[in-house]
Amino acid sequence: MSTIDYEAEENSCQAEVARHLHWNMTVNVLDGVFVRFGMSFAATATILPLYARHFTDNAVLIGLIAAISAAGFYLPQLPTADYVRRQPLKKRVAVNMGFFAERLPVLVLAASTVLFAARVPGLALLSLFVALSWQHLGAGLTGVGYLELLAKVFPVQYRGRLLGTASSAGAVTGMVGASLAAAVLRRYPFPTNFALCFAVASLFTVLAWGWLALTREPPLHSRAPAVPFNRFLAHLPQVLRSDRNFAHYLVARVACVLSHMGLGFLTVYAANRWGLDDAQAGLYGLTLLVGQAAANLMLGSLADRRGHKLVLEITLVLGILAMLSAVLAPAPVWIYAIFAAVGAMEGGARISAIAIAMEFSSPDDRPTYLGLANTIPGLFSAIAPVIGGAIASVAGYRAAFLAAAACGMAALALMRTIVREPRRQARAD
């Protein structure tokens, strides 16, 4: 039985990471660009609620779209953390599993639209939820592997730049996609318009997977021994007790995800209040991407220099302003500015919520921290849109927006007062 020279392998890995840094930056940015272009034709904040609106006006059901999108990604990550930690090549999880887990269900959504939307609307709505659950649960199963791949092949000083560049470039191409999606929705009758949008989304997500598969990753074995899953779970409370700053961060993140309870209703609220058609409301997706493109590069660079905690605080302020503005909006033109703020918020939060979790721990413990950082808030992201939908059903969409703003204020207070920037904590320790 061969013995691994961990120190030699680690030195070799660092050399390979440095040698392939520009290549990996290129292919991972292209992955982000193709994914964002494709998914702009099936956006969970705009296109999918509009599609569901053809089958139901139930706010709780429409809220499930946002709930599945968030919770499906976050919830399965903790059970996979120890498995990912023990893989010398993280691509085995992110790429090999990713095609069937994440890319295939988008094609299933397109096919179900063709087959059922006009003839069996109830089955079309069910197929939407099945495909959405499949895709986002699949993304969750491969999520820790993907994040570990990024953390492994990109040193800490490049991660914000990578995520910011990929998100910003993806937002620009996503703007083109959202414009084309709006044109398709306007030009073709229902359900052909949505079937075409979902087919384009399927094609480009598969092409994006091809770029991700080209990532050059050197092998690196973990020094930590494998542990049974029950022992792994039993160890998690000790992680939280021993790292109080990380535990405080999780509390703040829970409040943060609860502040998103109103986001999935903005498009439907505007469409219902002002009688907008699918194409008009679909343009809100374009505005959302404009906000992302404008914010991502700046926030990614700011995070590299000042830390991701500051960026998360900025995104919370943007979310609070968006929800309060939705309550006060006297005309549909206001919704464009609101979606721009939501886009900037989502872009910054996507960058920094991923990257900050990588900075709380050592490489061997990082999958566990990533799993906790995603799964615990994910439990609450599963119920947040349902809570928002229940509030909207009883008291209207504006009440849901006010509740979301209140949660955002609580999250901002927690992030400011009890969470320390992990980079400063590491230097102090």
**pLDDT-derived band at 182, boundaries 50, 70, 90:** confident
Mean pLDDT value across residues 171-194: 89
pLDDT tens for residues 3-53? 667 778 888 888 898 999 999 999 999 998 999 899 989 988 788 988 998
CB atoms within 10 A of CB 217: 20
Residue 354 vs residue 141, higher pLDDT:
141
Looking at the whole model, is its pTM more than 0.75?
A: no
Q: In this model, does residue 2 exceed pLDDT 60? A: no
Place of tokens 């906000």: 291
Q: Which of 178-192, 237-251, 362-376, 386-400 has the least mean pLDDT?
A: 362-376
**pLDDT-derived band at 207, boundaries 50, 70, 90:** very high
Query: What's the CA gap between 349 and 339, in Å, rounded?
Result: 15
Q: List alpha helices for 75-191, DSSP H.
A: 77-85, 91, 98, 104-116, 121-153, 156-187
Query: What's the CA gap between 270 and 48, in Å, rounded?
Result: 15
Residue 13: strand, helix, or coil? helix
Report the pLDDT value the prediction gives residue 248, as an integer from 0 to 100.
94
Mean pLDDT value across residues 122-143: 90
Own/partner long-range contacts of 418-422 (Cβ < 8 Å, ≥24 apart): 418/248, 418/251, 418/252, 419/245, 419/248, 419/249, 419/252, 419/309, 420/245, 420/309, 421/307, 421/309, 421/310, 422/245, 422/246, 422/307, 422/309, 422/356, 422/359, 422/360
Report the pLDDT value the prediction gives residue 208, as an integer from 0 to 100.
93
Mean pLDDT value across residues 283-307: 76
Place of tokens 């947040």: 384
Query: What's the CA gap between 303 and 147, in Å, rounded?
Result: 17
Report the pLDDT value the prediction gives residue 411, as an integer from 0 to 100.
95
Report the pLDDT value the prediction gives residue 3, as an integer from 0 to 100.
66
Q: In this model, does residue 296 exceed pLDDT 50? A: yes
Own/partner long-range contacts of 315-319 (Cβ < 8 Å, ≥24 apart): 315/344, 315/345, 315/346, 315/348, 315/349, 315/352, 316/256, 316/259, 316/345, 316/408, 316/411, 316/412, 316/415, 317/412, 318/342, 318/344, 318/345, 318/348, 319/259, 319/260, 319/345, 319/404, 319/405, 319/408
Look up the CATH architecture of domain 6-428.
Up-down Bundle (1.20)
